[in-house]
Amino acid sequence: MRRSICIFIILTAGTVLLFGLNLTVGSVRIPFPDVLEILSGQYTGKDSWRYIIWESRLPQALTAMLCGSSLATCGLLLQTAFRNPLAGPDVFGISAGAGLGVALVMLLLGGTLSTALFSVSGFLAILTAAFIGATGVTALILFLSTLIRSSILLLIVGLMVGYVSSSAVSLLNFFASEDGIRSYTIWGMGNFGGVSMSHMAPFSALCLSGVLLSFFLTKPLNILLLGPQYAESLGVSVRRIRNILLLIVGLLTAATTAFCGPVSFIGLAIPHVARLLFRTGNHQTLLPGTVLCGAVIALLCNLICFLPGEQGILPLNAVTQLIGAPVIIYVILRQP
């Protein structure tokens, strides 16, 4: 217990430290005392610094925290529910569904999403298409879960849905223009800077609601660790819990992918990092630990992206894969 408390304190301190560094580090170096004055409204210096903090770095740091925590939560829920250490938010094709929605808008519809009810373009069109694609795949998986009892078979069906979506995106890329392919490729690299302060309220509401809902499932998740038959004998409906988990995962993955693009490896690797740190399978400790680990790693990845300074910004997914892949390899090598 004492060890877990110490780790929680270290992770909380790490989150605060990395959040502060995300506000100061970038192509323009802003001293931390000036950052504090800007946030408190007492700063009387450069207007450009005030704009950088409020319109760029603060929303980007908040987005990294929320996105990292959300994706890490998704990974933990899926790995527990399906008893598969390699399950992640993209396993059920939800991320691929969001990608297909964005590909349709960027590569086929010329950046405009128009229906009988509404017409949007630009970033709002991409956001809407990604959310519709992700929620559509989630609805499909939930429907199939009423027909398929086996969690393993449902996992395989989710992978197949993802492959079909990826195949459709490849076909759209083949026939698309050069500008469309470039735009879609940039979106596919992931980016924590896509959420402005005006969009922060709906994004944070979606992420926080999904994460908070998952905390009500800690007891059923602990029971699921004992096996589906034992869980059923204790009166836990495995199928109902599985469907609730899919709804939460669908909500969080749709929100994060719509606003930030398909951020890879965080949902897959972070739950394993939390298990290695806390050395427990009890979700009353593991779930909040995973949320904090997700926030810390996402803030670290965002910080690394800006280390080149004036030379440019590294692609987010290049950094997350560089950190996440060794973790997955280590987990696989530890398997008996």
Confidence (pLDDT) at 60:
94
- Strands (DSSP E) found in the chain: 112-114, 119-121
Report the pLDDT averaged over residues 23-41: 86
Query: Is position 328 within any domain?
Result: no
| Domain span including residue 189 | 2-313
Strand partners, 119: 114
* CATH code, 175: 1.10.3470.10
Query: Is position 327 within any domain?
Result: no
Angle between helices 58-81 and 2-24 (to 10 degrees): 140
Three-point CA angle 294, 85, 10, nearest 5°: 30
What's the Cα-to-Cα distance from 225 to each of 193, 249, 281, rounded to whole Å? 37, 19, 8
Alpha-carbon span 246 to 81, nearest angstrom: 10
Q: State what percent of residues in the chain have pLDDT above 70.
A: 93
What's the Cα-to-Cα distance from 9 to each of 16, 21, 75, 211, 292, rounded to whole Å? 11, 18, 23, 20, 10
Query: Is position 246 within any domain?
Result: yes
By mean pLDDT, which of 65-69, 177-181, 245-249, 293-297 is the weakest? 177-181
Confidence (pLDDT) at 119:
60
Query: Is position 321 within any domain?
Result: no
φ, ψ (nearest 5 deg) of residue 195 = -110, 115
From the list 162, 37, 33, the residue with the least C-alpha distance to 92 is 162
Alpha-carbon span 257 to 262, nearest angstrom: 5
Query: Is position 329 within any domain?
Result: no
pTM more than 0.75:
yes
By mean pLDDT, which of 65-79, 132-146, 154-168 is the weakest? 132-146
| pLDDT tens figures, 45-58 | 788 888 899 988 99
Query: Is position 47 within any domain?
Result: yes
Query: Is position 325 within any domain?
Result: no
More confident residue, 100 or 142: 100
Query: Is position 38 within any domain?
Result: yes
Confidence (pLDDT) at 7:
94
As given in the structure block, the two tokens for residue 155 are 């996992």
Looking at the structure of the chain, the number of domains it has is: 1
Alpha-carbon span 191 to 128, nearest angstrom: 17
